[in-house]
C-alpha cells in the first residue's frame, strides 16, 4: 500500500523549533493540527461532523465511506472509536464496532508522527486493520509493518 511522506513546517512565536517538534510528536497535541491539514494535502477530502466523531469524506461522494484519522506515536496507535477509549469508558465493544465499520464503510488514515516533522500517511480499510489487530491496538513495534520504517 502507498505511503505518502510530508515534511511539515511549523512555528509558534519564538519557541525553539526542536521544542515544537518534540511537542508535536505527541498525538494529543498533533492530532488536531494534522486532522485539519489532511484536506490540504488531499483536496478531494473534506471534514464532516458526525455524532460519533469528526471524519473526512470524499467531496461530492454519494457513498457513505467515512475516513477516520489516527496518529501513530512512540506508544503505537489505538484505533477504537473515541467513545470507547479512555477512563470511564467501556473499552472496545467488538459488536458495536463491527456495526459501525459496516454501516459507514469505515476507512482509516494512519498518520505516523514518530519522526515529526516528517509525517507518513497511509490509507487502510477498517476491515483490514481490525483483522490485523482485533483489539484495535497497534503496538509501537509494528511501525515497520504499517509504514516500512
In this structure, the number of other CB atoms found within 10 A of the CB of residue 108 comes to 20
* Structural domain count, the chain: 1
Q: What is the pLDDT along the chain (149 residues), one digit of tens a residue?
A: 799 999 999 999 999 999 999 999 999 899 989 989 999 999 988 888 766 556 777 777 666 678 888 999 999 998 877 655 555 555 667 777 788 788 778 889 999 999 999 999 999 999 999 899 988 899 999 999 999 88
For 30, the domain range is: 3-147
> Residue 145 has what DSSP assignment?
H
Quote the pLDDT of residue 51.
60
Closest to 84 measured CA to CA, from 72, 67, 101, 105 = 101
The secondary structure element, H or E, covering residue 31 is helix 27-41
Closest to 137 measured CA to CA, from 72, 66, 53, 83 = 72
Cell numbers linked to 95: 459488536
Quote the pLDDT of residue 44.
87
| Domain CATH number, residue 114 | 3.40.210
Question: pTM of the predicted model, to two decimals?
Answer: 0.86
> Residue 119 has what DSSP assignment?
E
Amino acid at each position: 500500500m502507498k505511503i505518502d511522506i510530508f515534511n511539515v513546517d511549523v512555528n509558534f512565536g519564538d519557541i525553539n523549533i526542536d521544542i515544537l517538534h518534540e511537542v508535536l510528536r505527541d498525538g494529543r497535541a498533533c492530532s488536531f493540527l494534522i486532522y485539519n491539514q489532511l484536506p490540504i494535502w488531499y483536496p478531494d477530502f473534506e471534514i464532516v461532523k458526525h455524532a460519533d466523531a469528526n471524519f473526512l469524506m470524499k467531496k461530492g461522494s454519494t457513498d457513505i465511506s467515512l475516513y477516520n484519522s489516527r496518529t501513530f506515536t512512540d506508544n503505537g496507535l489505538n484505533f477504537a472509536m473515541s467513545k470507547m477509549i479512555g477512563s470511564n469508558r467501556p473499552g472496545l465493544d467488538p459488536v458495536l464496532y463491527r456495526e459501525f465499520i459496516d454501516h459507514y464503510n469505515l476507512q482509516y488514515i494512519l498518520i505516523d508522527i514518530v519522526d515529526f516533522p516528517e509525517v507518513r500517511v497511509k490509507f487502510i480499510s477498517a476491515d483490514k486493520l481490525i483483522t490485523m489487530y482485533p483489539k484495535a491496538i497497534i503496538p509501537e513495534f509494528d511501525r515497520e509493518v504499517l509504514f516500512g520504517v
